[in-house]
Amino acid sequence: MKDIIKLGGILLLVTVIAAAALAMVNSVTKPKIDEQKKLVIENALKIALPLAHKDAIVKVDSSEVEYYKGYKTPEKNELVGYAIVAKGQGYSSEIETMVGVDTAGAIIGLTVLHQVETPGLGTKIEEIRYGEEKPWFQVQFLGKTPEDLAVEQDGGNIKAITGATISSRAVTNSIRDALNVLKEHLQKAEEAVKE
Amino acid sequence: MEVKSLFIIAISSIFINNFVLSRFLGICPYIGVSKKIDSAIGMGFAVVFVMTLASMATWLINNFLLKPSPSNLFYHLFSAKEPPDLMFLKTIAFILVIAALVQFVEMVIQKLSPGLYRSLGIYLPLITTNCAILGVTILNLDLNYSFIESIVHGFSAGVGFTLALILMAGIRERLELAPIPEALKGIPIAFIMAGLMSIAFLGFSGLKIG
Amino acid sequence: MSMTKEFFKGFYAENPVFRLVLGLCPTLAVSNSVQNAIGMGAAATFVLVCSNVIISLIRNMVPKKIRIPIYIVVIATFVTIVDLAMAGFAPDLHKSLGIFVPLIVVNCIILGRAEAFAGKNSVFYSLLDGLGMGIGFMLALTLLGVTRELLGDGKLWGVPVFGSGFEPVLILILPPGAFLTLGLYLGFFNWIDKKTKK
């Protein structure tokens, strides 16, 4: 019995030392990690809301949905659109995209925030062809509204990547769902204002 | 809705994202313990059992001790101003929980059912370093699963592992008698077989559920 | 015991992947590109060297009965350090390696070296052993990564190397390709072994 207490004590001591060391490392890396995360979102917002001023994008965190509002000038008087993060299960990972729409609901910009799909197949959702500026798969989405969004196999007009229908479908459907949620929320908010 | 999403988690972790053949978790026991069907079944059951328990235990630890949320126990215990973020301790906490859990299960089985212990006993110590167990607990976290979803995921991932293991054992028992080039005998041919099985499992990825 | 032998044995004679057949999960999972392979190899080498040194330092103080849990705690600590540092300084790599960063904890190579070598030998030799084994692991991963990326995707380090006429062998970049490539390499090294012994 005494033995168990002694051994347990040693193990506890080792664990406490380890935890303390990690707490120290964490205090150094945490600000860096948070900064990285912020940077990723900021860069994505620039692509999703190309017309918005960089200091005039506000995060709205209502209980139902989290999204961003973009204004043209730093004074925040002319609304240019909304941006929202869409998440969908792809082939081997959850694909996260940041997508921006104008006030009429048409897509004005999008970019992939996170994906770990199969190299050479699913990763083509981010592929930029030689001589082009934007990923060809994503360009298809520009100007479309949620009703238009579905891959060709599902009767829509987004051309899926050959051999990577699952990834293509994940991106398309997750964006459509996220935009529908956003639209519903905005309509509700508008009605609430009218009342 | 709830039941349907659980069903989707189960099917996809058994077939589409099979732990061994598509996520590459638990390869060491997959190659090491697949020479005989009997031992494959024993190992499989041990893994399903520990995976389910580990999913449960780590979910509780994560949500009540590590995660910076209002339900964090330290937050209430020390009446801190805001919930502490202890997520950086997740790896160390999870592996210790799994190690302790394996020890505990071993003791309980030994007391309650010596017969079961004789058949599972030798596999249990191997499980602590089976990356499928730690893998499933971290995946539960990454995929933001609820308590019930985590349990279903843990259980069905274990079933998927067992399925791949038993299929492999069946094939390897026959391979014993097959004329294989000298250099490929043993582990190399096992990997090539695993590759062919993985191709077969790729077919499931076209499966449309829901 | 010679220094060079302890360092170089991990490269070929006791290569953790091809000879000892250890650490297979990350080997299969992250060898789909050279970049991932080298990133994972470097991370594992760091953990291996640090844990070998620490475990060798404390080897006479650790009670025999609880040495494995203590080794695991030491390893998990360094893995978390790598995890946090990678998330902060190399976020893209961290994302593409995904859960295989925390899973270095259960990489059998590391616990295996702790138990088989660092727990019994002096600090300096443990350091050499860890470094050699780590580099051997990285070499193996890179070999698989080069093969799979080149033939399966037509690229090296993300840069296309073949002309547009090249049709990649897609299966190699998909999960089955990992098993097939590793199986064939293992067979190949067995074959070389038999040839040289004769």
Q: How many whole angstroms separate alpha carbon B7 and alpha carbon B210? A: 9
Q: How many whole angstroms separate alpha carbon B159 and alpha carbon B48? A: 6
* Tens digits of pLDDT across chain A (195 residues): 678 888 888 888 988 999 999 999 988 888 888 898 888 888 889 888 888 887 788 888 877 788 898 888 888 888 888 999 999 888 777 889 999 999 888 899 899 988 877 777 778 888 887 777 888 899 898 888 888 888 888 888 888 888 788 889 889 999 999 999 998 888 888 888 777
Confidence label for C125 from pLDDT (cuts 50, 70 and 90)? very high
Res C22 pLDDT > 50: yes
Place of tokens 């070598």: C117
Least confident of A59-63, B141-145, C74-78: A59-63
Nearest Cα neighbor of B100 from B50, B162, B46 is B50
Type of residue found at A155: G
C-alpha pair distances (Å), A123 with each of A108, C9, C171 = 22, 38, 15
Q: Is C158 on the interface with B (CB under 8 A)?
A: no
Res B116 pLDDT > 80: no
pLDDT of residue B1: 47
Are residues B195 and C178, on separate chains, in Cβ contact within 8 Å? yes
Which residues contact residue A14 at a Cβ distance below 8 angstroms, ignoring those fewer than 6 apart? C70, C73, C74
Nearest-Cα residue of chain A relative to residue C65: A7
Least confident of A18-32, B2-16, B75-89, C13-27: B75-89
Total domains in chain B come to: 1
Q: How many whole angstroms separate alpha carbon A162 and alpha carbon B134? A: 35
Nearest Cα neighbor of A184 from A64, A76, A85, A21 is A64
Contact yes or no for C52/C46 (Cβ under 8 A): no
Nearest-Cα residue of chain B relative to residue C170: B199
Task: List, for residues C104-116, the tens digit of each pLDDT value.
Answer: 998 888 988 888 8
Which residues contact residue B166 at a Cβ distance below 8 angstroms, ignoring those fewer than 6 apart? B37, B40, B41, B44
Task: List, for residues C29-67, the tens digit of each pLDDT value.
Answer: 888 888 889 999 999 999 999 999 999 999 888 888 888
Are residues B92 and A19, on separate chains, in Cβ contact within 8 Å? yes
> Mean pLDDT for chain C?
88
Interface test with B, best of C25, C111, C185, C194 (most B CBs within 10 A): C25
Q: How many whole angstroms separate alpha carbon A144 and alpha carbon B85? A: 41
Nearest Cα neighbor of A32 from C17, C87, B92, C169 is C87
Res B81 pLDDT > 80: no
Helix (H, G, I), strand (E, B) or coil at B7: helix
Burial class (CB in 10 A: 0-12, 13-18, 19+), B4: exposed
Domain ranges within chain A, ordered by starting residue = 48-194
Backbone φ and ψ of B176, nearest 5°: -50, -35
Are residues B195 and C180, on separate chains, in Cβ contact within 8 Å? yes
Interface test with A, best of C95, C97, C156, C164 (most A CBs within 10 A): C95
pLDDT of residue B162: 94
Q: How many whole angstroms separate alpha carbon B117 and alpha carbon B113? A: 6
Strands A107-114 and A66-71: unpaired
Nearest-Cα residue of chain B relative to residue C109: B129
Least confident of A180-184, B64-68, B161-165: B64-68
Are residues C183 and B90, on separate chains, in Cβ contact within 8 Å? no
Nearest Cα neighbor of B26 from B121, B140, B163 is B163
Res B210 pLDDT > 50: no
Q: Who has greater pLDDT, A175 or B109?
A: A175
Are residues A7 and C66, on separate chains, in Cβ contact within 8 Å? yes
B135 min Cα distance to partner chain C (Å): 7
* Residues pairing with A97 in the sheet: A86, A112
DSSP summary character for residue C114? I
- ipTM above 0.85 for this complex: yes
Which positions in chain B touch C103 (Cβ < 8 Å)?
A: 25, 131, 134-135, 138
Least confident of B98-107, C53-62, C159-168: C159-168
Neighbours of chain C (3+ CB pairs under 8 A): A, B
Length of chain A: 195
pLDDT of residue B206: 67
pLDDT of residue C181: 93
Helix (H, G, I), strand (E, B) or coil at C52: helix
Nearest-Cα residue of chain B relative to residue C177: B195
pLDDT of residue B209: 58
Q: Is A9 on the interface with C (CB under 8 A)?
A: no
Neighbours of chain A (3+ CB pairs under 8 A): B, C
Query: Beta-strand (E) ranges in chain B?
Result: none
pLDDT of residue C41: 93
Are residues A22 and C74, on separate chains, in Cβ contact within 8 Å? no
Summarize the confidence of residues C174-196 as an average pLDDT: 90
Nearest-Cα residue of chain C relative to residue A91: C174
Res B207 pLDDT > 70: no
Q: Structural domain of residue B110, as residue ranges?
A: 2-206
> Of C25, C28, C99, which has the smallest distance from its Cβ to B138's Cβ?
C99
Cα(first)–Cα(last) distance of chain B, in Å?
10
Are residues B184 and C24, on separate chains, in Cβ contact within 8 Å? no
> Of A18, A22, A166, which has the smallest distance from its Cβ to B205's Cβ?
A166
Share of chain C above pLDDT 70, in %: 99
Res C1 pLDDT > 70: no
Phi-psi region of A163 (alpha: psi -120 to 50; beta: other; left: phi over 0): left
